[in-house]
Amino acid sequence: MTGSNRIAGYGEVSRSKPVTFTFDGKTYQGFEGDTLASALLANGVHLVGRSFKYHRPRGFLSAGPEEPNALVGISRDKTRSQPNVRATIQELYDGLIAESQNRWPSLTFDVGAVNDRFSRLFPAGFYYKTFMWPRSAWDKLYEPFIRRAAGLGHSPTEADPDRYSNRYAHCDLLIVGGGLSGLTAASEAAKSGKSVILCDENPVLGTGLRSDLRTKFSGKSARVHLNKLIETVRSAENIQVLTRTTAFSYLAQNMVALAERVTEHQASPESDAPRERLWQVRAQKVILATGAIERHMVFDGNDKPGVMLANAAQTFLARYGVAVGAKVGVYTATDTAYAAAIALHQAGIQVPVIVDARSGTLSAIGEEARLLGIKVVNNAFIKRVNGRLRVQSMVVEHQGTRETFDVDAIITSAGWTPSLHLFSQSRGKVAWDQETRRFLPGDYAQECQSIGACNGTDTIAELISEAVSAARWGIGSRARAKPKIPEIEDEVPASGGMIGADKGAGPDNPVKAFVDFQNDVTAKDIRLAVKEGFHSIEHVKRYTTTGMATDQGKTSNLHGLAIAAEALGKDIPEVGLTTFRAPYTPVSFGTFVNHNKGELFDPTRKTSIHDWAVEQGAAFEPVSLWQRAWYFPQDGEDMHAAVARECKTTRKIAGIFDASTLGKIEVVGPDAAEFMNRLYTNSWTKLGVGRLKYGIMCREDGFIYDDGVVGRLGENRFHVTTTTGGAPRVLNHMEDYLQTEFPDLKVWLTSTSEQWAVIAVNGPKAREIIAPLVEDIDFSPDALPHMSVREGKICGVPTRLFRMSFTGEMGFEINVPSNYGRAVWDAIWDRGAPIGMVPYGTETMHVLRAEKGYIIVGQDTDGTVTPHDAGLSWAIAKSKPDFVGKRGLERPDLKADGRPQLVGLKSLDGKTVLEEGAQITNRMNPSGPVDIQGFVTSSYWSETLQSPVAMALVNGGRSKMGETLFVPMVNETHKVEVCDTVFLDKEGGRVHG
Amino acid sequence: MRKFSALSLAREALRSHKGWDRQWSSPELKKSYDVIIVGAGGHGLATAYYLAKEHGITNVAVLEKGWLGGGNTGRNTTIIRSNYLYPESAGLYNHAVKLWEGLSQELNYNVMFSQRGVMMLAHSVHDVQVAKRHIHANRLSGVDNEWLTPEEAKAYCPPLSISKSARYPVMGAALQRRGGVARHDAVAWGYARAASDLGVDIIQKCEVTGIVRDASGAISGVETSRGPISAKKVGVVAAGHTSVLMAMAGLQMPLESYPLQALVSEPVKPIFPCVVMSNAVHAYISQSDKGELVIGAGTDSYLSYSQTGSLHILTHTLDAICELYPMFSRMKMLRTWGGIVDVTPDRSPIIAKTPVDGLYVNCGWGTGGFKATPGSGHVFAHTIAQDRPHAINTGFHLDRFRNGRLIDEAAAAAVAH
Amino acid sequence: MLLIRCPYCEQDLPELEFANAGEAHVVRSSDMVGLSDEEFETFFFIRENPKGISFERWRHVHGCGRFFNAARDTVSDTFLLTYKAGEPKPSLDDLEGQKK
């Protein structure tokens, strides 16, 4: 079909460029420049969807973003589908595939429409009153049924293959809305040298006025005036124009978020273009020129396909050359609908009647309509609409008499609602204007002005002056010249209007007069809510769901408010307005996510030795932002086998481990030792240069915050290590105290985590492997004892060589500049591999340290554990007057008996590896409430000891040495014996080699 | 109170629903009450209901500066679960879950408690350790919580991506099958209706501007925007505004109030069967009965009473949602909003007597108070009525910040090593 | 996203560069050990949490790294003032006048 409802000589579509698309499997033709809505209407298709609750047939209400009814699914291919697209803004492209929603089996025959037959059973809030019996039926019966019936379109089911992008922008002036007001303001700001961004949600600028074929600007059509403005704005170098770009959220400090649709209108999107782009614009000043939205009349059957807003019909005609019907009835409470009716009439469409809810004498435009031969009935209303899938006739009541008019479309207007969405989001306060009965911008909270229809400025001349002065404010211009205003003729300003239901849908008429179309909320639903005590407008909204559909109540909110106010017997401002919540119109999740997905979701930190581990086939585990080698499986080993081999070999020969992820902080300055004294529980004053010490850091509350080995490289220089995940917060913690509590201390802190690669070599052969590579360091056991550090060279590069051990074996941690990490690692590997040295990962590291009872902060402690609890009382200096955590440790509960204490656990069967996290009880078969005594923090199979080793936090654990406790699992209970945390080499001889 | 049922609904349908009454009355404010509850959110209304029902104290006023249920009750993502670590917390939240299970019948108001299961994802070895610790502790205290492998998690929630190459691959999940969601507004309305029916006065648009103490220092009433009201007992249940109210009685609280945001997508047909939480990447999601994906974000870092948050917080959450459920990238955000959450140093609530005689406080629920609503109201009513805590809320006192006996659920989850 | 003026860098910069560091002007005693349990509780746990002007600390963590103080209205989220650590607490009355 090619569209039999096109009217020659009308519209801006390219009639030489036909476009083919399908709707519900049927192929249609439209033209380039059409929206899906205009193309469907051109083909006589009015029925496009079903409502949410009653599944009532629905057509197009509007021609724009406020559309509640005409939602369709659009797909390009299997992976590129999108539900709930407003047909009124979807631009047509060749090959577009659209499907109607929320109907089964078909749009014309929808089983769900049975709800409409029984709608008396489903008033507002009905589900709160029923479905309660029997109790179990909610989960199994009622809720699944309700869920299936609800929802509109279908979610995509495959990953989105498209890409999105993100821009931050700064400008002097952001103008939101490229209608006449916004264009006038932008044109005034052209050539000002100030940076200006003008955005508009439509593909073309000036959309509101483009539909106006009547008003003359100095004798010429509105489009001529618009085109001149557009030319000025487009050619101004200081103005960036963004079309298809919706300002959807007005945030703090003049940040406005925009969503730009880049390829959604293209038949074959450019492969490198993003689908949508998020703009976060920080503007010095903002001008809101967001226009106004027409309201529908509230009457029985106002939702039937063919009933639409007057301005929508005018837009379909003027911009797309489409007649919305052959015989169009008009129902209005404002003058602008007359202009629409006259436009339709002049295009050859029959307009049998204009029904005006207002009484009194006709306005000039009313007389004009009458002179054109259109019947005008005042003080009348539409009583009923006939037709099911399309309007067939309307019954008009006028002073007690009824008359039926055959029509195939009805256009309505109850007036215009200024768009305050962004103004309100900017935290501006809206104010009720009693004279014009509408909400307008009141007090502003940010550097922002509203102009034009959104500011309640109704005439073009006033609007132009307002736009010019706002632009001058926006660019800081001192110009005082009177704006040039063209001579405006035949203008029909927005005026009059009504809010709420008209007579035919008054309190005594229980008809289906829709307020909120998509959610099927009628005037009587709102009255019922009020009757049931829902008196706050927020309650009415939530109880009836009015204004909560995908259109967020753009056409309905004021009607709902007025009906509630009437039912309450209150004035509208007393009842209040619901909050305008962002986004203005829905925005794809992908637009927010843009590049932050997959690998870019979060940075991945890799050590300089990472690639070596990859080459060796290591398995990795994520630890904070790092990827760490977990274990190095050989020849099909599983994790258990690999770890057993790595452990055994390290203890027998040697193992090499990448410890580069350790946090490292250089603490330097004349007061470095004093600073360390205050930040760590230990005493640092007497630590000799070249010596190492294990340090514990607490928060002020006395709980362990971090730990690590610290080396003193000079009187005034400490090399501090932290846990892998803890490095940033430890540095922050140190900086905080240094800058704000101890600013008198002369200390400088530098993060060196990324500067040093750390290669740990442990095992009886460790010295033998690395000694030949080391220069300038006396490597003899006496000169470099356990827990000492020396600076020198290895493989010719500078090193800080730590002699220390986290395995219980003789160990060295070789710090070299990261750039040389891989080279030094390779050199050590070349020496160690031939004698049997193995690489090991974090899992083996965990086992080896657990055999020795060394804790891991975050695993054996959890933020509620003191150094005393962890068995580290020895690391708390008694003589220091103060350190961070000292006072906290003195609080009653931290000194109480029975606190959890870290102990070792032996499985009495000699073979069970307890599960980490398993709970510990006093009794074998606890009955009733279980008295939990603690939990397993670390647990491994020790290949060296040929037995399990475990650590646990147990209430009063250190006084329970040798006692038997129980670890109940699902199928069995394990018996364990409380023991020391050191399982291997209690005397500690092995570290000396 | 007119009983709600399918039958009453059908009867009313026959007469155009002309017979429904107000769900709660709008009484005149009296000069004096036995108990004043400040704050008509879910917790406050539940407190009033249980005061009347369990303790026979019906001369109660619930004062609300806005509209009932308009604070965090009507702004949260409605997740309900009880698989907390410490016995105190598990006890409190499990008490609530048990009440949830019979709440629709108890209130004769369908609160749509849907036990569709709450799954908490583990993304690292450390997460797995923490999850297992919870599971074992829960099992022994009679709270259901079970471990799922990534494949089992995917079977339970088909949209979940368990790709091993994900930046934070799913390494398993803890599932509480009894957990789920409920209809938040209905909870407030149901309690309001039931409390009102028992004689409780619910006074909306009545802001408390002062808390009055007598010569002995004990509570004697409150000042409000509608005049003074006397009462010997005042329970403050004001969430984000607790600090402000308690300051009126001269008490400073261990609380900070932060913005917390949430969002919903456009409604779609059923696609997401359960509730999934990921603490590691900050993503909390379920699908409402209406079809919207309901998504919770994290808090902003700064204090605020503005009920608005920052875009980058929402963005971060959507990043995580699309990372875990790549199919949702083309879904659209429909509506966002913010609440004010009051956070204690140990992230556990305070349900307690205060140093001021006759003043009681229920606060500090942070980001997770909705789930506790019935249990919280139940034990707080007991605390007020008996002037001593119920066994279940004994540990949630104010003294813990002095003696150090915290209930630190957040610390127990610890940071990765 | 807030826009924050770093008093050291003397620039208005996006919140992403900063980290909030809690209430300002909470003094750590020079005699911590001498504090009573109640005083310690007040120091470590009790917070003003004002609805109105809040004195709070920020760190320009992804910038100069310095901690500084700010006075901000927690109702409107607008900054009234930022100032360097160690500078005296501004008078509340002066700030009230600046509030929008």
B19-43: pLDDT as tens digits:
999 999 989 999 999 999 999 999 9
Q: What is the mean pLDDT of residues A747-760?
A: 98
DSSP H or E stretch at residue B412 = helix B409-413
pLDDT at C53 over 70: yes
Query: How far apart are the C-alpha atoms of A656 and A822, rounded to whole Å?
Result: 13
Q: Which of B13, B161, B265 sits opposite A120 (nearest CB)?
A: B13
In the chain, the amino acid numbered A252 is: A
Percent share of chain B, pLDDT over 90: 94
* Closest to B241 (Cα-Cα) out of B219, B220, B221, B256: B256
pLDDT at A199 over 80: yes
Looking at the DSSP assignment, which residues form a beta bridge with residue B61?
Answer: B36, B201
pLDDT at A3 over 80: no
pLDDT at A201 over 60: yes
Of the residues A75, A129, A933, the best mutation for testing chain B's interface (the one with the most B CB atoms within 10 Å of its CB) is A129
How high is the mean pLDDT of chain B?
95
The residue behind tokens 């021609």 is A63
**Which pLDDT score, from 0 to 100, does residue A139 have?**
87
pLDDT at A2 over 60: no
Burial of C37 (0-12, 13-18, 19+ CB in 10 A): middle
Residues of chain B in contact with residue C38, where contact means CB-CB under 8 angstroms, are: 402
* Cα dihedral value B43, B45, B46, B52, nearest 10: 140
Q: Which of A253, A736, A890 sits opposite C21 (nearest CB)?
A: A736
pLDDT at A707 over 60: yes
- CB proximity B310 to C under 8 Å: yes
Q: What is the mean pLDDT of residues A124-128?
A: 93
- CB proximity B17 to A under 8 Å: yes
- The whole-angstrom distance between residue B216's C-alpha and the CA centroid of its chain comes to 35
Work out whether the CA dihedral C29, C32, C35, C38 comes out positive or negative.
positive
**Do residues A922 and A965 make contact, with C-beta atoms less than 8 angstroms apart?**
yes
Looking at the DSSP assignment, which residues form a beta bridge with residue B60?
Answer: B35
Looking at the DSSP assignment, which residues form a beta bridge with residue A383?
Answer: none
pLDDT at A446 over 90: yes
Query: How far apart are the C-alpha atoms of A16 and A35, rounded to whole Å?
Result: 16
How high is the mean pLDDT of chain A?
96
pLDDT at B413 over 70: no
The more confidently predicted of residues A120 and A382 is A382
Q: Which of C33, C37, C86 sits opposite A886 (nearest CB)?
A: C33
Is A736 within 8 Å of C67 when comparing Cβ atoms?
yes
The residue behind tokens 């459920």 is B325
The more confidently predicted of residues A494 and A154 is A154
The residues, any chain, with a CB within 8 Å of residue B52's CB and separated by 6 or more, are B58, B60, B195, B198, B199, B200
- CB proximity B401 to C under 8 Å: yes
Residue B415's pLDDT band, with cuts at 50, 70 and 90, is: very low
Q: Which A-chain residues 500-529 have CB contacts (< 8 A) with chain B?
A: 510, 524, 528
- Which of A107-121, A173-187, B329-343 has the least mean pLDDT? A107-121
**Which pLDDT score, from 0 to 100, does residue A928 have?**
58
Percent share of chain A, pLDDT over 90: 93
3 state SS for chain C: CCEEEECCCCEEEEHHHCEEEEECCCCCCCCHHHCCHHHHHHHHCCCCCCCCEEEEEEECCCCCCCEEEEEEECCCCCEEEEEECCCCCCCHHHHHHHCC
Q: Which of A253, A445, A701 sits opposite C2 (nearest CB)?
A: A253
Both structure tokens of A823: 């080279």
Q: What is the mean pLDDT of residues A963-976?
A: 94
* Closest to B70 (Cα-Cα) out of A554, A548, A542: A542
Looking at the DSSP assignment, which residues form a beta bridge with residue B277?
Answer: B120, B284
pTM over 0.95: yes
Query: How far apart are the C-alpha atoms of B250 and A866, rounded to whole Å?
Result: 33
Both structure tokens of C89: 């607490």
Helix, strand, or coil (residue B154): helix
**Do residues B252 and B398 make contact, with C-beta atoms less than 8 angstroms apart?**
no
DSSP H or E stretch at residue A766 = helix A766-770
Percent share of chain A, pLDDT over 70: 99
Cis peptide before A134 (omega within 30 of 0): yes
Cis peptide before B389 (omega within 30 of 0): no
**Which pLDDT score, from 0 to 100, does residue A1 have?**
45
Looking at the DSSP assignment, which residues form a beta bridge with residue B213?
Answer: B219
Q: What is the mean pLDDT of residues A348-362?
A: 95
The residue behind tokens 């632009």 is A471
**Do residues A275 and A264 make contact, with C-beta atoms less than 8 angstroms apart?**
yes
pLDDT tens-place string over residues B378-401? 999 999 999 999 999 999 999 999
- CB proximity B177 to A under 8 Å: no
Rg (C-alpha) for chain B, rounded Å, is 21
Both structure tokens of A844: 């083996």
3 state SS for A770-816: HHHHEECCCCCCCCCCCCEEEEEEECCEEEEEEECCCCCCCEEEEEE
Both structure tokens of A603: 């940075």
The residues, any chain, with a CB within 8 Å of residue C31's CB and separated by 6 or more, are none
**Do residues A30 and A19 make contact, with C-beta atoms less than 8 angstroms apart?**
yes
pLDDT at B74 over 70: yes
The residues, any chain, with a CB within 8 Å of residue B263's CB and separated by 6 or more, are B295, B297, B314, B317, B318, B333, B334, B335, B336, B337
Q: What is the mean pLDDT of residues A857-883?
A: 96
* Closest to C75 (Cα-Cα) out of B304, B241, A425, A579: B304
pLDDT at B416 over 80: no
**Do residues C70 and C4 make contact, with C-beta atoms less than 8 angstroms apart?**
yes
pLDDT tens-place string over residues A8-30? 999 999 999 999 999 999 999 99
Both structure tokens of A403: 């008359």
Of the residues B207, B261, B302, the best mutation for testing chain C's interface (the one with the most C CB atoms within 10 Å of its CB) is B302
Residue A926's pLDDT band, with cuts at 50, 70 and 90, is: low
Query: How far apart are the C-alpha atoms of A792 and A812, rounded to whole Å?
Result: 14
pLDDT at B197 over 90: yes
Is A588 within 8 Å of B9 when comparing Cβ atoms?
no
Cα end-to-end distance, chain B, whole Å: 57
Q: What is the maximum span of chain C, computed from C-alpha positions, in angstroms?
A: 43
Work out whether the CA dihedral A964, A966, A972, A974 comes out positive or negative.
negative
- CB proximity B331 to A under 8 Å: yes
Q: HSE on the CB side for C52, CA within 13 Å?
A: 10
Q: Which B-chain residues 73-112 have CB contacts (< 8 A) with chain A?
A: 74, 87, 101-102, 104-105, 108-110, 112
pLDDT at A69 over 70: yes
pLDDT at B414 over 60: no
pLDDT at A927 over 80: no
Contacts A–C by Cβ distance under 8 A: 56
Q: HSE on the CB side for B379, CA within 13 Å?
A: 29
In the chain, the amino acid numbered A137 is: A
* Closest to B403 (Cα-Cα) out of A222, A42, A125, C40: C40
* Closest to B63 (Cα-Cα) out of B235, B191, B248: B235
**Which pLDDT score, from 0 to 100, does residue C100 have?**
55
Neighbours of A913 (CB within 10 A): 17
- CB proximity A732 to C under 8 Å: yes
- By C-alpha distance, the chain B residue nearest A543 is B185
Residues of chain A in contact with residue C86, where contact means CB-CB under 8 angstroms, are: 740, 743
